[in-house]
Copies of this chain bind each other. A is one copy, B any other.
């Protein structure tokens, strides 16, 4: 397992273990790292509309200067057994001051992260429902890669997917069904997807 930029601080990290659908208290400035499970970062409108800004998978780092201005983005565990390590701001600051390489790594991460977020603007803004779902599945496949099975474990609910892609639950469900009918994917169960025809899925962008 590759070491992460904050590995040196693991002894100072506080580990949080969460049940399902549990809001993490995100302290501004502190850094977080998903150890296992799945975390969603989301924003809410007063009227209930929700937008999931990102899913954080094991190994992912987040907490880059949270939400002073603008409106808050909360972090919530998606599945039970989600474990998150919290790195105190001071320790991170000290590390970055003393270890330029770590600062560099984190900076690189932030840039990569930024780019991903900007790419999501395209998804949400300019893609059709089928394209969004397709791109989402490919993203899932890539991030949850490795494990020998060609089946992707879709841990989050249809509601989560909908709020991630800025669609309605019904549209997500219908779109998955249609992709299956077209032979692009197979759905052994509601929470497992097998990509049958990668080309068909990628027939976008």
Which A residues have a C-beta under 8 Å from some C-beta of B?
Answer: 43, 45-46, 49-51, 53, 64-67, 69-71, 73, 97, 100, 103, 107-108, 110-122, 124-126, 166, 205
Known A-B contacts: A46-B205, A53-B121, A65-B115. Give 7 more (CB < 8 A). Answer: A64-B110, A64-B114, A65-B114, A67-B115, A70-B115, A114-B117, A124-B124
Secondary structure class of chain A's binding surface, majority of residues = helix
Cα A42 to Cα B34 with chains together (Å): 31
Judge whether A121 and B120 touch: CB under 8 Å.
Answer: yes
Closest to A53 in B: B118
Choice from B66, B110, B121, B205 contacting A121 with Cβ under 8 Å: B121
> In the complex where A117-B118, A121-B51 touch, is A126 in contact with B69 (Cβ < 8 A)?
no
Instruction: Give every chain B residue within 8 A of A66 (Cβ-Cβ).
Output: 115
Q: How far is the CA of A49 from the CA of B49 in the complex (A)?
A: 27
10 residue pairs, one from A and one from B, having the closest CB atoms: A65-B111, A125-B166, A124-B125, A51-B122, A53-B118, A49-B126, A117-B117, A51-B126, A64-B111, A51-B125
Which residue from chain B places its CB closest to the CB of A29 in the assembled complex?
B111
Distance of A54 from chain B, by nearest CB (Å): 8
Measured between C-beta atoms, what is the minimum distance from A34 to chain B in Å?
18
What residues of chain B lie closer than 8 Å to A166, measured between beta carbons? 121, 124-126
Specify the chain B residue showing the minimal Cβ separation from A54: B118
A97–B100 contact, CB under 8 A?
Answer: yes
Q: Quick check: B65 and A108 within 8 Å, CB to CB?
A: yes
A46-B205, A126-B51 known; A121 and B115 CB under 8 Å? no
Cα A68 to Cα B108 in complex, Å, equals 11
Distance of A108 Cα from B89 Cα, bound (Å) = 13
Cβ–Cβ contact B119 & A70, under 8 A:
yes
